[in-house]
Amino acid sequence: MTTRPAPILICDDEAHIRHVLTVKLAEAGHPTLCAADGEEGWALAEAYRPAVVVTDVKMPRLDGLALARRLRDRLDPAPALVLLTGQGATLTADALDGLTVAAQFGKPFSPRELVRCVRDLIAAPSAPGGAA
Amino acid sequence: MRPRPHRRAIGSRGRRVIGVAPPGHTNRLAQRLEALGLPRLSVTPRGEARVIGVCSWFERTVVAAPRFTRALGGRRHEFGPDGPDRIELLPGVSVLPLREKNPSADPDAARQAVLLLGPELLNGEALRGICDDAELDHAATVARADVARLFDDAAADRLAMTVRWLAEDAEREAVRVSELTSLSHELATNYEELSLLYKLSCNMTLDQSPAAFFADSCAELQAVGGLGWVALQLVEDEPRLQQMAGRNFTSEAPHDTATLRRLGVRLIERHHDDHEPRIDDDPAATLGPDAAALRGGLLAIPLVRDRRVLGVLFGGDRTDGRPIDSVDAKLCASLGNSLTIFLENLMLFEDARGLFLGTLHALTAAIDAKDHYTHGHSERVALVSMLLARAAGFDEQQTQRVYLAGLVHDVGKIGVPEAVLCKPGRLTEAEYDQVKRHPAVGANILRDIRQMDDLIPGVRYHHERWDGRGYPEGRAGEDIPIFGRVIAMADAFDAMSSDRTYRKRMAPDAVLDEVRAGAGTQFDPELAARFLELDFTPYHEMFRRQRGDAA
């Protein structure tokens, strides 16, 4: 069996964010998938079982938190979750309502830090989907 | 046999069959297509077709063409179970749905199809093998699609044209993607800068220690700018930056502080008329042998305010080995602007703080000038209040405010006649009433100084008692603001510890006994408990120093 690295799924309705993350993650050797909203993100996640999902919180059709809950409830193992939040704000435990979030980045975020975070998540032995 | 470049294939009436198989279908099917050198497509149950395992020419010329992808996507509903027997995706390129021998009752089951680019394989053993492997009905498939008519010469010509057209489309797409990639890289760099400046602007509050802010800024710039090192050198002759005068805030700088300081001074002297960012490719030549270690070039951004250099931001040695360029200079200059604004704020803050403290000390001196006997009382009360506040768990900022309140707590004595304040004997009731007015008078004096709003309760209530028998309002317990309770305790302690016109000072142990006895009546019992644990060494030292001054 070949060990193909599990992809990183990027969900954001802003195209420039998707482009920047795709380029930077690809440069770091991670295959990526892109979705412009939560529903599209869910379809891709179900088909390709990403190791990490990087998702914007505010998106049309299905927002980031609803997508995250669906990933947690319906995928096993659930992918590690990285949230992109607006205006530098991070979500409180209340707002997350029990969701396990590996990291949060407030926009504007540093692509360098995000790539490092994804790399650490994949390298971590407990990374969901990382060993599969 | 590996596939050849498409022109050759088309020129010889290329015979290509691309199998469309659902994901997860038999490996045998995949292997067979691979052995034939054929790309295959997978169709999800939703009918979305995706090309997988393609050979390189097909990938480059057909799959990479946005027109092909659009055609595939636009007609995906036709891949469903009720779709037509044959779908002409593009001129000369047809999809032939494969018929299952035992159609599944499951509506979600994936459907099979073959993308046709030539007749031979379709009629031959290859297609039969594909159908067998996928358990499909070969005969039915071929019969229903009327395959023969698909592959006349006209169809082959249309196909050749289509493939050429797709290849051009793919080429344009490749250019577009490469432009997009380069734009995305640039965008990523801008994001880094934006996020750096945003982070710094959030850190740019004066609550934070300036030293920590400068050190963080250097570390961030080093990481974001991809520089080997970054250093910030501040001028030494600015009294308002005394706290950090001449200090260096570095991040892995190749030089010790003294050398960087020399380089900074030299740069500032050299460019005193010209405050533009400098990129120096050969620092050793321009700055002397000191700079020899700066092999990777040197970037210097003077931090200038009103034509005056407040410091220099240095950077060097790009980690990727590239020479330092104008983009690096721009990033460093943006950061330099933020640092300059921060330095300016810091100096304005120092000005305001100096004025404020100067005013407080002037007030204190005015009180002391009036009542020589209590010389230094205000400062001692301020000191003890501060020690007590800290022991009681106040944060550092509140502790400093208690100190200031302690300094001015007796400012109202300005309104009490000297004859009363300095009277050696017992006060008459009328005189005592005058003395009792001083907390309220003090609060009134400070009323209009906005920066002292929070100090006023300490002034107004420093003669209240825990049991409610104090003045001016007779408040009790926690109704007395905490500043008032703290200062009341420090004030009583200092009064007992020092000589007064009407009595000699008490011995230190006797004073503490009084405090103990007054806990819960005169004093807040919790504060009294903290008070008895205090180390009074600083207090006694201050007292000794003041007596020395007076002598």
Specify the pLDDT at position B115.
59
Contacts of A19 in chain B (CB under 8 A): 180, 183-184, 187
pLDDT tens by residue, B403-412: 999 999 998 9
Distance, in Å, from the CA atom of B387 to the CA atom of B490, rounded to the nearest integer, reads 9
Closest CA to B236 of B223, B248, B228: B248
Of the listed ranges B43-57, B68-82, B212-226, B476-490, the least confidently predicted one is: B43-57
Cα distances from B41 to residues A44, B59, B417, B445, in angstroms, run 17, 12, 102, 87
| Other C-beta atoms lying within 10 Å of the C-beta of residue B28 | 13
**pLDDT > 90? residue B515:** yes
Nearest 5 degrees, angle CA A72-CA A74-CA A75? 75
Mutation to test the A interface, candidates B44, B184, B220, B334, most A Cβ within 10 Å: B184
Closest residue on chain A to B44 (Cα): A47
CA of A80 vs chain B CAs: smallest distance (Å): 23
Of the listed ranges A8-22, B269-283, B351-365, the least confidently predicted one is: B269-283
Question: Which is more confidently placed, B25 or A132?
Answer: B25
Average pLDDT estimate for B188-217? 78
Supply the ipTM of this predicted assembly.
0.77
Specify the pLDDT at position B294.
67
pLDDT tens by residue, B324-350: 777 778 888 888 888 888 888 888 888
Distance, in Å, from the CA atom of B154 to the CA atom of B115, rounded to the nearest integer, reads 18
Q: Give the model's confidence band at B490: pLDDT under 50 very low, under 70 low, under 90 confident, else very high.
A: very high
- The whole-chain average pLDDT of chain B stands at 76
Question: Which is more confidently placed, B419 or B532?
Answer: B532
Average pLDDT estimate for B118-135? 59
Query: Could you tell me the strand order of the sheet in which A8-11 lies?
Result: A32-35, A8-11, A52-56, A80-85, A103-106
Using the beta-carbon criterion (under 8 Å), do A22 and B184 form an inter-chain contact?
A: yes
* Top-confidence range, B23-27, B176-180, B492-496: B492-496
Mutation to test the B interface, candidates A90, A107, A110, most B Cβ within 10 Å: A110
**pLDDT > 80? residue B206:** no
Distance, in Å, from the CA atom of B375 to the CA atom of A17, rounded to the nearest integer, reads 67
**pLDDT > 70? residue B110:** no
Of the listed ranges B297-301, B400-404, B510-514, the least confidently predicted one is: B297-301
Report the first-to-last Cα separation within chain A, whole angstroms.
Answer: 11
Q: Give the model's confidence band at B319: pLDDT under 50 very low, under 70 low, under 90 confident, else very high.
A: confident
Look up residue B381 and give its amino acid: V
pLDDT tens by residue, B1-56: 343 333 323 323 333 444 444 444 445 555 555 555 454 555 555 555 555 444 45
Tell me whether A100 touches chain B (CB under 8 Å): no
Tell me whether A88 touches chain B (CB under 8 Å): yes
Distance, in Å, from the CA atom of B292 to the CA atom of A81, rounded to the nearest integer, reads 48
Q: Answer for the pair B351, B296: CB distance below 8 angstroms, yes or no.
A: no
Q: Give the model's confidence band at B102: pLDDT under 50 very low, under 70 low, under 90 confident, else very high.
A: low
Cβ-based neighbours of B86, under 8 Å, separated by 6 or more? B94, B95, B96, B97, B145, B146, B150
**pLDDT > 80? residue B57:** no
Specify the pLDDT at position A131.
37
Q: Answer for the pair B410, B362: CB distance below 8 angstroms, yes or no.
A: no
Contacts of A24 in chain B (CB under 8 A): 184, 188
Using the beta-carbon criterion (under 8 Å), do B223 and A111 form an inter-chain contact?
A: no
What is the percent of chain B where pLDDT is above 70? 67
Half-sphere exposure of residue B190, counting CA atoms within 13 Å on the CB side? 9
Specify the pLDDT at position B502.
72
